[in-house]
Each structure stands twice: as structure tokens, then as C-alpha cells.
């Protein structure tokens, strides 16, 4: 059950949740409005694009993405590039920068590594990353709106190289943010890692949602139901659909070599949402902020491995070492 406003806050302050880390007045930021979107950036001819860029219909595979040997090594490259691009863009997040400028930074980071931005021209999407600010849940289009002090922004990166897609995202604070928003970011990162840590061969797919939703609810936050993770590899979006909420019927068993994303979207308020007229941007109905983190993972013989890490083994989306060391637990 989700923590109620009059209950003691999970942080141990002794105050009611609604007067502490659940203070929605402190979380409420100026609503995001769409800005001007500049033309599509060019990709050098030396960078190989996915088939759908040249007019093919994007494939959504009903088969699981299974990778071993040579195909896994190619996927590792794509995931490492995605992690590096995310890290590069994250370092540029600050008050006054536009999400369009973040897109330009990401675009350059992709192409200098020989990778194509998977989102660019995917079903008509016009940019190289998704940037979802404040109440925008996902698929926000970079534009000329400057980020403001106290905002939060999710940057979603997908790199295509060597025939594989690597997908990752993180939510970044813009300058100094209210402690309530910092808590939303931290809990979302931790919930993501707990969901990944629940993966192991033979366990059911619902182990992910069974780890994520109770953790978010214990901190008073909501979880978006309609959007989830997905199989990934040579296909951008494939089976299985990965729910981040509790679904007891979701009993597909993990098997070694399966690759997919874990990417919960956690809300400060209601998980109900609407889509902007651009046909992409999904925003919370109550205009309260949301956060998201994402990793591409593979099922191993004994658990799960995060693939979207930099060459140094880190990521703005966190690593499983936090769970293994006990820094994150299943209780708040």
C-alpha cells in the first residue's frame, strides 16, 4: 500500500509525510510548455543507420532477444557507447542550457563514436535523445526551452552500432533542487536497481515489478503502469514487455542470455497521464514531477548484469554494487 500523507515520513524526521518528503507544494514547479524544435541534425554517411531510417517499417519483435558470444560482444559495444553518451550529456545539465543543446551534445557524442542515435527518425521522432522535464514522464522532444534552477530532467539515450541498440537513461537535477525532488530522484534510481537485482534464471518476469512497486509505494510515490521496459538488441523494441508494477500473471521465466531494459517511471503524485499534441510527449495529469532511470541488462547463469556501463564500469543510472553492498535495501 502506498504511504499516505498523514503517515510518518519514511525518512525518520517524525513529521507527517505530506509535510516532509511528500510535500507536493514544494514539488510543484512551473508547468513545462513546448518550445521551438529545430531541424533534424545530419549523421555522417560513414555511420550505419538502422533499417528503419531508410524507409523500412520499424520492427517490434515478438521473439526474445537472446545474446551470447559474438552478438553479445557487439551488444556490449552499443551499451557502452550509450552509457558514455549519457554521462557526457549529464555533465552539461545546468540552469540556462536548452534541451536542444543537450541533444546537440549527445548527437556529436554518438557520431564521434561511430554510433547512430536510435531515436532519430524512429517513427518520425526528430531528435537524438529524449529529454523529459519535470512533469513530463517520457519521450519529451528537445527544444529551445532553457532548463531552470530547480528543474529535473530525464535524458534517454539509445545508441545503434555494430547492428545493436543499447538503451539507458537517468534523471538529473538542474542546479539546486528541493529535497523532495532529490528524494524522488534517489528513490527512482534505487527502485530501478532493486528491479534489476531481482532478475535471475527461472524467476518470473513479475519479480521486477514486485521489487519496484512496493519500494516506490513505501516512499509515497506512484509508478506508471502503461509504459515499461522491453526486449532489446538487434531490434530496438522487442518482447517481453517489462512491467514495473505488480502483475501476478506475468510469469514468463527469465533465461540466460535474455536482454531487455528496466526503466521504471516514478511519480510524485498520480501515475495518470496524457499526451501532448506532438504525439510523443507524455506528461502527468496533475503536473507533479516524475523521474526515470534505465539500464539494458542481460540474464546471466546466476542473476543479471547491467550492460549500459562506461568503460570505467559506472553510470549516472547507478550500478548493482549499491544493492550488493547493502546501500539500497528493500525497506525504506
Residue 280 maps to which CATH number?
3.90.230.10
How far CA 2 is from CA of 147, 190, 216, 217, in Å, comes to 31, 17, 8, 4
The answer to whether residue 114 sits within a structural domain is: yes
Q: Per residue in 224-244, pLDDT tens?
A: 999 999 999 999 999 999 999
The answer to whether residue 263 sits within a structural domain is: yes
Q: pTM of the entire structure?
A: 0.95
| Residue 221 three-state SS | coil
Residue 162 has pLDDT above 60, yes or no: yes
The answer to whether residue 35 sits within a structural domain is: no
Assess contact for 153 and 98: CB atoms under 8 A.
no
User: Given the C-alpha cell 547512430, which residue does it identify?
Assistant: 116
The answer to whether residue 12 sits within a structural domain is: no
| Burial class of 301 by CB neighbour count within 10 A (0 to 12, 13 to 18, 19+) | exposed
The answer to whether residue 58 sits within a structural domain is: no
The answer to whether residue 79 sits within a structural domain is: yes
The answer to whether residue 219 sits within a structural domain is: yes
Give the containing element (helix H, strand E) for 156: strand 152-161
Q: Per residue in 9-51, pLDDT tens?
A: 999 999 999 999 999 999 999 999 999 999 999 999 999 999 9
| Three cell numbers, residue 162 | 555494430
Residue numbers of the domain that contains 275: 67-324
| CA 121 – CA 212 distance, rounded (Å) | 32
Q: How many domains does the chain have?
A: 1
Residues whose CB is less than 8 angstroms from the CB of residue 88 and which lie 6 or more positions away in sequence, other chains included: 105, 106, 109
The answer to whether residue 40 sits within a structural domain is: no
The dihedral region occupied by 12, where left means phi > 0, alpha psi between -120 and 50, and beta the remainder, is left
Amino acid at each position: 500500500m502506498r504511504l499516505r500523507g498523514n503517515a510518518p515520513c519514511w525518512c525518520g524526521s517524525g513529521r507527517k509525510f505530506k509535510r516532509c518528503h511528500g510535500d507536493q507544494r514544494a514539488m510543484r514547479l512551473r508547468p513545462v510548455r513546448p518550445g521551438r524544435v529545430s531541424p533534424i541534425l545530419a549523421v555522417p554517411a560513414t555511420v550505419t543507420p538502422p533499417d528503419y531510417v531508410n524507409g523500412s517499417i520499424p520492427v517490434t519483435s515478438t521473439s526474445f532477444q537472446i545474446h551470447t558470444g559474438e552478438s553479445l560482444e557487439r551488444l556490449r559495444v552499443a551499451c557502452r557507447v550509450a552509457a558514455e553518451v549519457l554521462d557526457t550529456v549529464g555533465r552539461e545539465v545546468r540552469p540556462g542550457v536548452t534541451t536542444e543543446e543537450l541533444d546537440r551534445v549527445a548527437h556529436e557524442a554518438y557520431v564521434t563514436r561511430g554510433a547512430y542515435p536510435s531515436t532519430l527518425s524512429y517513427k518520425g521522432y526528430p531528435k537524438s535523445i529524449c529529454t523529459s522535464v519535470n512533469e513530463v514522464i517520457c519521450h519529451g522532444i528537445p527544444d529551445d526551452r532553457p532548463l531552470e534552477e530547480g528543474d529535473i530532467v530525464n535524458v534517454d539515450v539509445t545508441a545503434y552500432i555494430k547492428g545493436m541498440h543499447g538503451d539507458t537513461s537517468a534523471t538529473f537535477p538542474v542546479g539546486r533542487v528541493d529535497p523532495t525532488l532529490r528524494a524522488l530522484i534517489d528513490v527512482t534510481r534505487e527502485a530501478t536497481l532493486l528491479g534489476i537485482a531481482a532478475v535471475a534464471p527461472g524467476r518470473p518476469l513479475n519479480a521486477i515489478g514486485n521489487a519496484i512497486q512496493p519500494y516506490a509505494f513505501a516512499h509515497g510515490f506512484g509508478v506508471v503502469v502503461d509504459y515499461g521496459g522491453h526486449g532489446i538488441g538487434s531490434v530496438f523494441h522487442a518482447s517481453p514487455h517489462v512491467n514495473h508494477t505488480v502483475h501476478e500473471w506475468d510469469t514468463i521465466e527469465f533465461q540466460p542470455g535474455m536482454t531487455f531494459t528496466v526503466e521504471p517511471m516514478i511519480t510524485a503524485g498520480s501515475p495518470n497521464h496524457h499526451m501532448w499534441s506532438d504525439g510523443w510527449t507524455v506528461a502527468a495529469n496533475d503536473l507533479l514531477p516524475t523521474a526515470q532511470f534505465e539500464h539494458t541488462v542481460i540474464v546471466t547463469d546466476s542473476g543479471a548484469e547491467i550492460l549500459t556501463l562506461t568503460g570505467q564500469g559506472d553510470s549516472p543510472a547507478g550500478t548493482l554494487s549499491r544493492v550488493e553492498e547493502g546501500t539500497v535495501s528493500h525497506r525504506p
